[in-house]
Chain A
C-alpha cells in the first residue's frame, strides 16, 4: 500500500515531463541571428571589451568580477564564472551571450534556454585581439573594432628595455609571506608581454602555464626583477615588505622587487596595453637603480 502514492506521483511526473519536453522542443529551434540588443557576459575581459566597443548600453548583465568600467559594475549580476544565476538570466531576457570556452556548462544551458552564444578565446595576445574583432563584427560595430585592433597593435608594438633583464612575474601568492607563489610560465599573455619588452621570463622553461614554485627555486633563478601582479590596489607597501625581509636574510634574494597593482593586471582584455606600459616602467626603474 505504501508504494501506490509513489507510483502515482511518478506517472504524474513523467506525464508533466513529456508535455514540457514537447513544449521546449518547439521553442529551441531559432537559428536566425539575434539583433544582439541584450547582451550578457561573465568574464570581465569580455565585459570590458563590450564597453570599449561602445556597446555598454546593450549589456544587460555581467559576472561577479566585472568591476571596470564603473558602469559595468552597476549592471545586474548574473553570477560567478561557474555558477550562473539562471533565473536572473531568464528574467533579463538576453538575446546574446558571449562566453569563454571554459564556460561549457553555461553555454549548453543557455542554448537550451534559446539564447544565442558566441564563444571567444582570450588566453594569448593574439586571441584577445581577435576576440575584439569577432565581438565587434557580431554586434555590428566592425569599424569600431577595426579601430580598436589597430590601436591595440600600436600600443603593443615591441619596445625593448636595455639589457635583456631576467624577470620573474608572480601572479598570486600569500600575503605576509613568500609562500604558494604562482608565477607565469611560458606561452601566457604575460610571457608574451615580457617578450615584447625584450625581457627574459625567469620561468620560461616551466612545464605549466602558471606553476606554483618554492622559495628555493625563486632564489636559484637569480631574477634581476621580480614583479608581483596584484589585483587589489593599495597592497604595494605590504607586498614589497615581504621581498625586503627576504633581502635582509640572503644575498641571493632578487635585487629589485616591484609591485604592479590594480584590477586590470590579471584581466586579459582591452586594458592589457596599460599593464604593458606599467611592466615596462617597473623594469626600467630597476635598470636605473645603482
Chain B
C-alpha cells in the first residue's frame, strides 16, 4: 500500500538524519574522530550535537503531530499550536520570568523554562475551559477564542518588553526566535515522556479524527464523544507543545507545513498520518537546524528564524499549487 511505502521511506529518512546530522556542522566530524578519543571531538559530538539532534527530532515530531491533530479537530488548515495561543502563553511566561529575573532555577530547569511551561498550560486551561463549558458549542468559535487569547498574549508581551531595559528586551526577542542549543540530555529526557504520551493518545483517537473529517454532526451521530475528543486532543497537544516550548522557545510553521505536505503524500488516514508526521516533522526540524548551523557558521542562526523564513513562502506555494 502506498501509505506504507511512504512510511518506510520516512522512517529511513528519519534514521539517516539521526545518524548523519550529528557529524555535520561548523566542524565536520568523522567516525575516525570519534574513535580517536579526542576529548574535544567527543564532547562536541556526545554533549552538544547528539542531544541537539535528538531534541530537534522530538520537538519537530511533536509540533507536527499536534499541528495535524488540531487541524483535524478544528477542520481548519491554519490551526496549529501557535494559532491557538499556546505559544503565546509560553512567550508571556518566559518574558515575565526574564523581566522579573533572579529566581534562578526550579526543579533543575531555568526559571524561564518553568515560567513558559506554566504560561502555555495556563492558556490551554482557558481554552479547555471554554471547550468544556457550554459557551462555545461551535468548534470554530473555539478557534477564534484561541486566536483572541494569542493576540492578548502578544500584546502583554509587548507591554512587558516596553517595561524592560534593552539587555532584557534583547534576551526576550532572542527567546522568541527559538533555538535548540543544549548541552547534555536533560532537555531530551524531559521531552521524551511527553512525546510518547502525545503519540499514543493521538493514535488512540485516530478513528475519531478520521470520522471528524466527515463533519461533526455525522461524527457525533456515530458515537464520537466530541467533548472527550476536544479535551484529549487539546489537552495533549497543549501539554506537549508547552513542554517543548519551555526548552526550545517557539519554533513556528513546522506544525503547519509538515502535516500539509504529508497529508498529500500519505493520505488522510490518521493511522499512517500520525506516525508519518512524527517522523517527517522530526527529520524536517533536524535538517532545518543543520541548515541553521551551517548557513552562518560558526555563528548559529536560531532555527525558529529559519523555519519561519522557509515556512511563509513555502506555505503560499502549497496553497497556490493546491488550487491547480
Contact = CB atoms under 8 A, between A and B. Distances in A.
* Direct interface between A and B, CB < 8 A: yes
Interface of A: 1-3, 5-6, 9, 13-14, 16-17, 20-21, 23-24, 77, 79, 81-88, 90-91, 93, 101-102, 104-105, 108-110, 112-113, 172, 182, 208-210, 212
B298 A85 contact: yes
B65 interface: no
Nearest to A113: B183
Interface string B81-119: 000000000000000000001101100001110000000
Contacts of B300: 79, 83, 85
Contact of A88 (B26, B54, B105, B185): B26
A87 B104 CA distance: 25
A85 B27 CA distance: 12
Given A87-B48, A112-B184, A17 B189 contact: yes
8 contacts: A2-B8, A13-B54, A17-B189, A21-B189, A81-B170, A81-B171, A82-B174, A85-B298
A104 B182 contact: no
B227 interface: no
A79 B26 contact: no
A14 B181 contact: no
A182 B185 CA distance: 41
Q: Kindly state the interface size class of chain B when it binds its partner.
A: 35 or more
B117 to A, nearest CB: 15
Interface stretch (B68-76, B204-212, B230-238, B271-279): B271-279
Contacts of B47: 20, 24, 90, 112-113
Nearest to B172: A82
Interface SS of chain B: helix
Contacts of B14: 6, 9
A12 to B, nearest CB: 9
Contact of B26 (A2, A87, A172): A87
Nearest to A79: B299
B224 interface: no
Contacts of B279: 6
Contact of B185 (A21, A85, A90, A105): A21
Contacts of B299: 77, 79, 83, 85
Interface of B: 4, 7-8, 11, 14-15, 18, 25-27, 40, 43-44, 46-51, 54, 101-102, 104-105, 110-112, 162-163, 165-168, 170-171, 174-175, 179, 181-186, 188-189, 192, 272, 275, 278-279, 298-300, 302
Given A20-B50, A104-B111, A112-B184, 5 more contacts: A9-B18, A16-B50, A82-B175, A83-B300, A110-B183
Nearest to B49: A87
A90 B111 CA distance: 25
A195 B168 CA distance: 25
Given A6-B278, A104-B110, A17 B102 contact: no
Contacts of B189: 17, 21
B158 to A, nearest CB: 12
B275 A109 contact: no
Contacts of A182: 166
Contacts of B102: 101
A102 B188 CA distance: 24
Contacts of A77: 298-299
Given A87-B26, A87-B48, A209-B165, A2 B4 contact: yes
B275 A17 contact: no
Given A2-B272, A23-B46, A208-B163, A17 B181 contact: no
Interface centre among A9, A79, A87, A172 (most CB of B within 10 A): A87
B298 A83 contact: no
A102 B54 contact: no
A60 B171 CA distance: 25
B183 A112 contact: yes
Contacts of B51: 20
